[in-house]
């Protein structure tokens, strides 16, 4: 099988697939149109986020048997068209679930204990103790929306901090020793911390908007390591200003490029988030550790070999 690799990933992908006699070609620079012009020559494609695999692309990929995304989200693939064309879709959420879970906990600890603010103050000769009194995770009810690989890994860690973890998911009967499944209404009733672990779909676009925020009974901390467009930013900013959202940990932003490589626009809402002491922002790196880079790649290789060897 001939496989086209469109993004740089861990070298084990190349090493292990070559050892299984796959024929590989790397192309990390060609444009969308250039790739469309040759995609019919390949049986498989391995991607991250650089090029969208839309209907036009997939219809030109007349010999494509699989698409493997090194990561969790699949929104840059036209899934209905791929399924209609019987192209197998492969992803690797198992590979970076631990990285995402640790990032969630890390951001919450930094935000709730004012660690970044206090550290910068001391480095600038300011010694404030009462003003930097923290807020403990212990005893808080954390609500997770989505209980797949990321949600479960996050619940496992938060339960170790003495949190009560509840979650809502579209699939039934997912409760385990780390978290209890509840209705969305019950989650809004109980949660003091809210964390998103959902894909980007039509149903989840702007899931967290003004209505959602106002339906939360408690003032709450908010965490998003899922997708930026799961949240309507202007509504989050208003809630931060009013105090309904006590603080926000954002690894993803509504204003990211589709490739996640940078921001595509700036506005007053983004400037507020970047300037606020109540907000931590990281550049879409929750799933990016040295360990997850290898694990993501290994999961992809294992799935390809299982299906095509």
Residue 260 confidence (pLDDT): 79
Burial class (CB in 10 A: 0-12, 13-18, 19+), 276: middle
pLDDT at 145: 98
Q: What is the pLDDT of residue 119?
A: 97
pLDDT of residue 66: 98
CA nearest to 141, candidates 159, 127, 129: 159
Helices (H), 191-267: 210-215, 233-242
Alpha carbons 37 and 73: distance in angstroms, whole number: 25
Q: Residue 260 has which token pair?
A: 């996640």
The angle at the Cα of 159, spanning 293 to 225, to the nearest 5 degrees, equals: 40
**Is 227 considered catalytic here?**
yes
d(CA 73, CA 199): 6
Which pLDDT does position 139 carry in this prediction? 97
Whose CA is closest to 114, among 124, 125, 103, 122? 122
Element (H, E) at 273: helix 268-275
The pLDDT value recorded for residue 133 is 97
| The pLDDT of residue 147 | 98
pLDDT at 266: 82
Q: What is the pLDDT, as a whole number, of residue 261?
A: 80
Burial profile 229-250: b = 16 or more Cβ within 10 angstroms, e = fewer: bbbbbebbbbbbeeebbbbbbb
- Residue 210: the pLDDT is 98
pLDDT at site 265: 80
Q: Which of 103, 227, 232, 254 is catalytic?
A: 227
Alpha-carbon radius of gyration of the chain: 21
How far apart (Å, rounded) are the C-alpha atoms in residues 141 and 128? 29
pTM: 0.93
Handedness of CA 228, 233, 239, 243 (dihedral sign): positive
Which pLDDT score, from 0 to 100, does residue 264 have?
83
Supply 249's token pair: 């940990």
pLDDT below 70 — which residues of the chain?
none
């Amino acid at each position: 099988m001939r496989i086209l690799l469109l993004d740089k990933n861990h070298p084990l992908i190349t090493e292990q697939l070559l050892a299984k006699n796959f024929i590989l070609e790397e192309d990390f620079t060609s444009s969308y149109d250039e790739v469309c012009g040759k995609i019919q020559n390949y049986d498989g494609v391995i991607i991250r986020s650089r090029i969208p695999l839309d209907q036009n692309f997939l219809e030109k990929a007349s010999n494509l048997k699989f698409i493997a995304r090194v990561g969790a989200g699949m929104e840059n693939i036209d899934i209905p068209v791929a399924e209609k064309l019987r192209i197998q879709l492969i992803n690797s959420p198992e590979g970076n679930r631990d990285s995402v879970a640790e990032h969630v906990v890390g951001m919450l600890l930094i935000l709730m204990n004012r660690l970044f603010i206090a550290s910068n103050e001391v480095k600038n000769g300011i010694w404030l103790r009462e003003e930097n009194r923290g807020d403990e995770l212990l005893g808080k009810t954390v609500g997770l929306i989505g209980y797949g690989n990321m949600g479960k890994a996050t619940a496992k860690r938060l339960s170790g901090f003495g949190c009560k973890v509840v979650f809502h998911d579209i699939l039934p009967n997912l409760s385990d020793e780390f978290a209890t499944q509840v209705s969305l209404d019950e989650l809004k009733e109980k949660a003091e911390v809210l964390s998103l672990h959902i894909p980007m779909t039509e149903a989840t676009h702007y899931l967290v908007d003004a209505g959602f925020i106002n339906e939360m009974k408690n003032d709450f901390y908010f965490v998003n390591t899922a997708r930026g467009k799961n949240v309507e930013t202007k509504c989050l900013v208003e809630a931060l200003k009013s105090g309904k959202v006590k603080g926000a940990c954002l690894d993803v932003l509504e204003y990211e490029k589709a490739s996640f490589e940078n921001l595509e626009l700036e506005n007053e809402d983004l400037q507020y988030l970047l300037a606020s002491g109540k907000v931590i922002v990281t550049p879409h790196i929750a799933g990016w550790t040295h360990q997850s880079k290898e694990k993501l790649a290994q999961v992809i290789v294992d799935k390809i070999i299982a299906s095509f060897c």
